[in-house]
Amino acid sequence: MFRIILTRSEEDINRDRSIFEREGFEVISLPLVKTVDLDFELPKEDFDFVIFQSAKAVKYFFDKNRLKGSEKIIAVGETTGKALESYGYNTYMMPENYYAEEVKHLIKGEKVKVLIPRSREGRENLIMDLKEMGFYVYAVNVYTTQPVLYRRDEFLRVISKGNVIVFASPSAVKSFFANLPKDEGIRVLKEKIAVCIGKTTNEELISLSGLCGLLPEKPSMKSVVKLIKSLA
């Protein structure tokens, strides 16, 4: 039987747990990241587009701000879209394959002003791409992701319980190797089935360990479950 180690924040693990348990998987909780809101101020601009790349960006933005209502909202991923709906906003468009890099192909026009509420640790790719295309881009850090550190013996005890480990962000991969020396971390991972929710997370795993994780069809926990079931 697959015993699944989930490494997201404690809040996310509690939300995702039932998706795995419904399929008969045992869930082992090992939160490797936690998110903390940041104080921020918005530029005094009228934005044409607002891009949310995660449900957390939605939460931490709308917990402190509202939009004027004229902006077109782009959500990267189904979960992000659902988070927007919970705050009463409709999604103008969602990238077909859920990857942030595809957003740049959805924005048309000249002198377009784009707001991107984001994590302080977020990648710069999308921002740089949009700027190179001539858009005015305003990136606002609304939250930060921090590693969760454990005593070595406690970390190894929990890790030993599972045979599949799921990484849902590059930050979780970094935190894994913040808890173990690189050589030991690689040795531990070689004994597991590593699943990365998306390509950016897998790129981080390859960069830090040289190991390649399995990738689901879509970057969602439902798709991760489907992938793991196919391994049986």
Q: Is the pLDDT of residue 85 over 90?
A: yes
At a CB cut-off of 8 Å and minimum separation 6, what does 207 contact?
Answer: none
| pLDDT at residue 97, as a whole number | 61
Q: Check if the beta carbon of residue 76 is closer than 8 Å to that of residue 105.
A: no
How high is the mean pLDDT of the chain? 92
| pLDDT at residue 95, as a whole number | 80
The pLDDT-based confidence of 113 (bands split at 50, 70, 90) is: very high
Cα–Cα distance, 85 to 29 (Å, whole number): 28
Q: Is the pLDDT of residue 6 over 70?
A: yes
| pLDDT at residue 189, as a whole number | 98
| pLDDT at residue 231, as a whole number | 93
| pLDDT at residue 99, as a whole number | 60
Phi and psi dihedrals of 230, rounded to 5? -70, -15
| pLDDT at residue 76, as a whole number | 86
What are the Cα distances from residue 34, in Å, to 11, 30, 171?
A: 9, 11, 10
Give the residue from 129, 148, 152 showing the smallest Cα distance to 139. 129
Strands 26-29, 3-6: pairing is parallel
Q: What is the per-residue pLDDT across 161-192, written as a single tens digit (0 to 9) for each? A: 999 999 999 999 999 999 999 999 999 999 99
Query: Nearest 10 degrees: CA dihedral of 3, 6, 12, 18?
Result: -10
76 or 205, which is more confident?
Answer: 205
| pLDDT at residue 123, as a whole number | 80
Distance between terminal CA atoms of the chain? Answer: 8
Whole-number percent of the chain with pLDDT over 90: 76
Q: What are the DSSP E strand ranges found in 56-202?
A: 72-75, 113-119, 136-147, 164-167, 193-196
The length of the chain is 232
Q: Is the pLDDT of residue 102 over 80?
A: no
| pLDDT at residue 126, as a whole number | 81
Tell me the β-bridge partners of 145. 35
Alpha helices, H only, 33-162? 55-62, 78-86, 125-132, 152-159
Q: Is the pLDDT of residue 159 over 60?
A: yes
Cα angle for residues 69, 75, 80 (degrees, 5° grid): 105
The pLDDT-based confidence of 21 (bands split at 50, 70, 90) is: very high
